Structure 1
Amino acid sequence: MILAGAGAKMDPHVRCIAHTLNLASQKAFKVDSVSELVVKVRKLVSFFHKSPKATEVLREIQTQLHLPNHKLFHDVSTRWNSTLDMLERFWEQQPAVLNTLLSRKIKRREAMASLTEDDMTLIPEIIKLMSPLKVATTLLSEEKNPTISIISPVQAKLQRQFQRDESDLEVISHMKDRFRQDFDGRYTYLEGTLHCASALDPRFKDLAFLDDSDAKDMVFMKITTEVVQMNGEEEASDTAMPNEDQATGTLEEDQTAETECDKSPSKEDKTGLFKCRQCQKCTEVCSEDAI
């Protein structure tokens, strides 16, 4: 897409923000402790999907614990959202899942009970951190409306969301660092264009996502300059090209002048510059008449 756009001289090329978020989020999930946790949860989900007996016992315990009768999700490697969905659903059903694994009706239950206390502490923290990304991805995947004006506000919000905090678990801090390392530099080269797009959107025209008032002034100055330049080019184009009435009048005047010239009799030409229309030996005829 980038090469095709450059070849067609359709600069600047704006990368898909939803795809960019997907890539950065996948980097965050690749932190060692997090990726190991995801593997454990995925293994549990696969176990329930493959075991009709485990699924049956899970439903019974869901009813006993008054939990929603929801199935466990399995994630897809190409969509980070699906990993978050898997963790959210597991956390919703974790009392029923753990009680099912303790049931004597289930074989291999010891092999499945691999989650540690630290894992159970980490899961809700991951969900809390990554949930705003899920909302942003859904918002930016909109197909009915242009989304370029939303990029800068969303980017600013996510950068604040992923700043390190003293209360963070060490693993969560590493996830934030991984995300920002991949995401922060993605749109630096388009910053001016994206800010102008946001300023022209009534929802973001106050540019609240920019903390620097001078930066806001620069955005509106750039827009004003662009508008003045466009108006100047249009006026120059209108001046260079005569309107239809003027063009018609000029053509009629030229045709009238040509007609009058054609009607001029050749014998009135006292200078001898015009020749007889019927005889090319005008000089001889004129000489004979003179004799």
Structure 2
Amino acid sequence: MSQWDITHKVTDLVTDGAENMGVCARELRLRHTICVAHTLNLLIKKALDQNPVLSDIRASSRKVVGYFKSSTTAKERLTKVQEQMRWPALKLIQEVDTRWNSTYHMLQRVYDLREPVGAALAGLRTEIAPLSSRQYEIIAECLKVLSSFNDATVELSEEKRVSGSKVIPLLSMLHHALEEEMGLVQTPENTAMAESLKRQLREKFNNLQSMSIISLATLLNPRFKKIGFFSPNKAAEAEKRLTSECCKLWHRLDATVLQTRTQTCHCGHNSGGPKIPG
């Protein structure tokens, strides 16, 4: 940072939750903030991985997608079936282990192309079996539960705009969206996943509203202000924190101005004018 002359510009170090990153921040004497998008990715992956039925569905989906991507014959067959059924020319999407929303996009595309994929597999010599109607039912509900999490991930991963002030409002909206979906979910597999997500959201982000840099960013964003918080109490705490910070800045500024004036007066007094001989 010294080499690039950016030390005075760095106010926060945003990383994943690895312990060595925390050590690095302490060594550099920088405020350390754990990346919310990364944390969100981890908790969703955990909720999916802990669910045996959803894990089996994902494995079956990966096999189907992998087959159509690796076989030219299967790929051509699927394209032809889509044309015959006057289906949109969509391609299957494979899951990537490091990005949870690739799982979301894979399941979404597998569900959207369930009829063409089933028809294409029926005309091919393969041991790859299409997903069952029960599995598609579970996928449909799973996508509804995860839809708001996908939107939040996209918003928090934005590179061209600052996202710090959006964190608390987005997590608040996620909480409310999850509450609504839990009232509509009927399959036990998705109920278990939703409960896991709700529990992890509370555990991972419970103290987020008390973080100075995040809460102040939310309060100072004219779109959110105090309505962006989970509760009025947290908004009041942030407002009190902002007032305190403003007072500190004012006192520092006042002291600087006073020191400058004192130095100016002192220099003027010492310089004086030319002495007139008596």
Deviation at 1:17, TM superposition (A): 1.5
Q: State the distance in 2 between where 1:125 and 1:153 align.
A: 25
Runs of at least 5 residues in structure 2 that lack an aligned partner in the other structure: 1-20
Residues 232-254 of structure 1: CA distance to partner in whole angstroms, max 9, x if unpaired? 2221232234456424313314x
RMSD between aligned residues: 2.4
Matches within 5 A, 1:74-113: 74-103=94-123, 106-108=124-126, 111-113=127-129
Q: State the distance in 1 between where 2:102 and 2:59 align.
A: 13
Look up the match of 1:156: 172
| SS state at 1:207 partner | helix
Look up the match of 1:53: 73
Deviation at 1:81, TM superposition (A): 1.1
Q: Decide which of 24, 44, 69 is 1:25's aligned counterpart.
A: 44
Residues 66-106 of structure 1: CA distance to partner in whole angstroms, max 9, x if unpaired? 11112211111111111111111111111000011111xx1
Task: From the superposition, tell whether residues 172 and 135 of structure 1 become closer, same or farther in structure 2 (CA, over 3 Å).
Answer: same
| SS state at 1:66 partner | coil
Seq. identity, %:
26
Matches within 5 A, 1:195-206: 195-206=215-226
Task: From the superposition, tell whether residues 7 and 183 of structure 1 become closer, same or farther in structure 2 (CA, over 3 Å).
Answer: farther
1:15 aligns with 2:34: yes
| SS state at 1:220 partner | helix
Larger Rg: 1
| SS state at 1:184 partner | helix
Maintained 8 Å contact 1:29/1:175? yes
Residues 214-244 of structure 1: CA distance to partner in whole angstroms, max 9, x if unpaired? 4433322221222122202221232234456
Look up the match of 2:191: 173
Q: State the distance in 2 between where 1:114 and 1:226 align.
A: 60
Task: From the superposition, tell whether residues 174 and 3 of structure 1 become closer, same or farther in structure 2 (CA, over 3 Å).
Answer: same
| SS state at 2:34 partner | coil
Q: State the distance in 2 between where 1:209 and 1:181 align.
A: 19
Look up the match of 1:142: 158
Maintained 8 Å contact 2:165/2:217? yes
1:124 aligns with 2:140: yes
Count of matched residue pairs: 253
Look up the match of 1:44: 64
Residues 22-80 of structure 1: CA distance to partner in whole angstroms, max 9, x if unpaired? 11111122111111100001001111112211111111110111111122111111111
| Regions of 4+ moved over 6 Å | none
Q: State the distance in 2 between where 1:201 and 1:91 align.
A: 39
Matches within 5 A, 1:66-81: 66-81=86-101
Look up the match of 1:63: 83
Maintained 8 Å contact 2:219/2:226? yes
Task: From the superposition, tell whether residues 50 and 144 of structure 1 become closer, same or farther in structure 2 (CA, over 3 Å).
Answer: closer
Task: From the superposition, tell whether residues 3 and 123 of structure 1 become closer, same or farther in structure 2 (CA, over 3 Å).
Answer: same
Task: From the superposition, tell whether residues 41 and 190 of structure 1 become closer, same or farther in structure 2 (CA, over 3 Å).
Answer: closer
Q: State the distance in 2 between where 1:32 and 1:41 align.
A: 14
Q: State the distance in 2 between where 1:47 and 1:222 align.
A: 57
Deviation at 1:18, TM superposition (A): 1.4
Runs of at least 5 residues in structure 1 that lack an aligned partner in the other structure: 265-291
Residues 133-152 of structure 1: CA distance to partner in whole angstroms, max 9, x if unpaired? 11111111122222111110
1:185 aligns with 2:203: yes
| SS state at 1:14 partner | strand
Higher relative contact order (CA 8 A, sep 6+): 1
Q: State the distance in 2 between where 1:209 and 1:130 align.
A: 22
* 160-169 vs 90-99, greater mean Cα deviation: 160-169
